[in-house]
A and B are shown apart, each in its own frame.
Chain A
Amino acid sequence: MNSNVTLKDFMTPVWGLIVLGLIIGGGVGLYEMFGSHILATTQVVVFTTPLVVYIWLALASTGISLLLAYGLLAGNGLIQRYTRYLLVLDIAVLLGGFAALATELGSLLNMIYILLSPNPLSPIWWMGTFYSIKLTLLFVKLALDLMGKHGPLDRPLAWATMVVAAGAAMTIGAVFGTMIARPDYQGAFASILLVTLAPASGVALIVLLRRSAELADWLIPVARQLAGLIAVMLLLQWIYEARATTVGLIGWVNPLMLVLFAAAALAGGIASRISAALVMIGSFWVLYGFIITGQLVVQGPMQGWYGAVTSFAPNLAEIAILVLGVSVAAAVYHLGRLFLLEGEGATPSHG
């Protein structure tokens, strides 16, 4: 633990932005939760930007977890050297996602019933359970790392992290893929896409932040391949959507999404941070397009209120929730960097 942190360490432009983001995003979030409804949701489009932000950040966190687990299980010394940094980043991003999710849930205090009255048939229950277990595992690993305790628990924890992280991403997909009345959602593709987006966005985030040039440079080929894979998956989905005659299917893939990921795959070598940023933007866009489009076909009598197909655009309050999620992630990350990662370079954890 770094005990040399002073107030001066917080007097930086980055912290200024973080605090501003927390004030704006936090203010809007708290008003939505305890004041009055100001998000752009309706009775027919209920999953909007807050949920997109949560899934975007949660998937990035999942990707980092998968990388961490792989590093230990495959004996990759480079990844293992940056275990503490990756743990801090992983926890920060996941907490940012949870902050966004909190503004989306209507009755946060009733979350206790996830434990007291579980429904194992519900994909949302599994998603919440997996991510809670994942966060717990991350804190346990971080605590062990800070105490310098490395031994027989490391491999079981890594396996548990890998299984839980992959399960978490797939069950987010299942939340949508199991809906029988939403053709744009239905099927296993959602789970497959999200479990692929997870390492893509997680690796992209590490490359983008570039705290360790050594680690980032090693990950660039991985990031490019994953971006290329996402582009291929989106191309397939686009072709299937174009051919589909399913009643009620709108189709959510925009060809520009393909271009974005293809550009990220091609540009990765010469402009790795731009490539990584394209992946992060692309993954947000994919999630936004997927989640919103699936709700645009209005069901039943609500067509009398909203029309057969409705439209949606986020308002400033929803954008503020995006700011909240990113600000919370940034705040936790930078606090961890100051207190737990000594010096400006990445600190070797063990090796």
Chain B
Amino acid sequence: MGYGMVIDQQLCVGCAACTIACKAENNTPVGFNWCDKITSTQGTFPNVRYEYISTMCNHCENAPCVLACPTQAMYKDKQTGLTLHNPNKCIGCKACMVNCPYGVIKFNWDTPHPDWREANRLAEGVFSPREMVAEVGGDGSPTSNPERDSTYPSLRQRGTVEKCTFCDHRLAQNLEPACVEACPSGARQFGDIDDPNSAVSRLVKLHGGQGLRAELGTKPRVIYIRDYRPTRRVAPARPENKG
């Protein structure tokens, strides 16, 4: 079993709901996102094409970050195929960041959410940021998600890296990643990509597609299918179940 994601570029509208949902679910600080985007512009005016490519950790089978990590803080989960991070073992050498071909690993130079540690009140009678966090019982920020803590700290340590975990805490409860659930157009599909009969595998079989920078041999588990063609008749993203 190995989780993977298929992103249908025909259906993606570039709304960034995935980015915001991930930010809310995983309490990422101002300054970086686990789920981000590449904006690709091609051609010469007036024949210009613009593409929005949602990106996150590709949970590569041959993950360069796992190979580079000296303490196995970055590791492959054998049961799920995910590339996960153990901050308790992380020495903050940032080798994973420089080895990653996708630029999806970030480093906490300071403890995340420094603005929410501000003790000064903006005006009399209002909460200071620190008081607001304490009042709602937040972890680093008032909008932190306590469910995130079940498998990975909601507030990460200063001096360690962090990256997308495919919402492993949600997967443990048979829920889909937050970005998949948030997508309004159904562009993101998630499942066991090692199972040839899964919905994601059938999508790849139907439309082809490949991961980012496939020539590097990382074997990413995020596969992009199709590209946006306004004249294309929109086909269902999900293949019809046949029994």
Task: Give the distance in Å from the alpha carbon of A116 to the alpha carbon of B110 in the complex.
Answer: 26
Task: Give the distance in Å from the alpha carbon of A340 to the alpha carbon of B212 in the complex.
Answer: 58
Task: Give the distance in Å from the alpha carbon of A248 to the alpha carbon of B98 in the complex.
Answer: 14
Our count of residue pairs bridging A and B at CB distance below 8 angstroms stands at: 134
Question: Are A117 and B89 in contact (CB-based, < 8 A)?
Answer: yes
Question: Are B103 and A302 in contact (CB-based, < 8 A)?
Answer: yes
From B55, B64, B70, residue with most partner A Cβ within 10 Å: B70
Query: Can you name the residue of chain A whose Cβ is closest to the Cβ of B101?
Result: A181
A104 contacts across to B, CB distance below 8 A? 93
Check A119 for interface membership: any CB of B closer than 8 A.
yes
Q: Give the residue of B55, B69, B109, B160 whose beta carbon is less than 8 angstroms from that of A37.
A: B109
| A window 106-156: CB within 8 A of B | 106-108, 110-111, 113-114, 116-119, 121-125, 128
| B window 56-114: CB within 8 A of A | 64, 67-73, 88-95, 97-104, 106-110
Task: Give the distance in Å from the alpha carbon of A39 to the alpha carbon of B93 in the complex.
Answer: 15
Complex interface bits, A85-120 against B, C-beta within 8 A gives 1, otherwise 0:
000000000000000000011111011011011110
Check B127 for interface membership: any CB of A closer than 8 A.
no
Q: Give the residue of B90, B94, B95, B218 whose beta carbon is less than 8 angstroms from that of A122.
A: B95
Q: Using C-beta atoms within 8 Å of the partner chain, give the interface range for chain B.
A: 35 or more
Question: Are B109 and A119 in contact (CB-based, < 8 A)?
Answer: no
Check A74 for interface membership: any CB of B closer than 8 A.
no
Q: List chain B positions with a Cβ less than 8 A from chain A.
A: 31-33, 36-39, 55, 64, 67-73, 88-95, 97-104, 106-110, 157-160, 212-213, 216-218
Q: List chain A positions with a Cβ less than 8 A from chain B.
A: 36-37, 41, 43-44, 46-47, 104-108, 110-111, 113-114, 116-119, 121-125, 128, 175, 178-182, 294-295, 298-305
Can you list 23 residue pairs at the A/B interface with Cβ under 8 Å? Answer: A47-B94, A106-B93, A106-B94, A107-B92, A107-B159, A110-B73, A110-B88, A110-B90, A118-B70, A119-B70, A123-B68, A125-B71, A179-B64, A179-B68, A181-B100, A182-B98, A299-B101, A299-B102, A299-B103, A300-B101, A301-B37, A301-B55, A303-B38
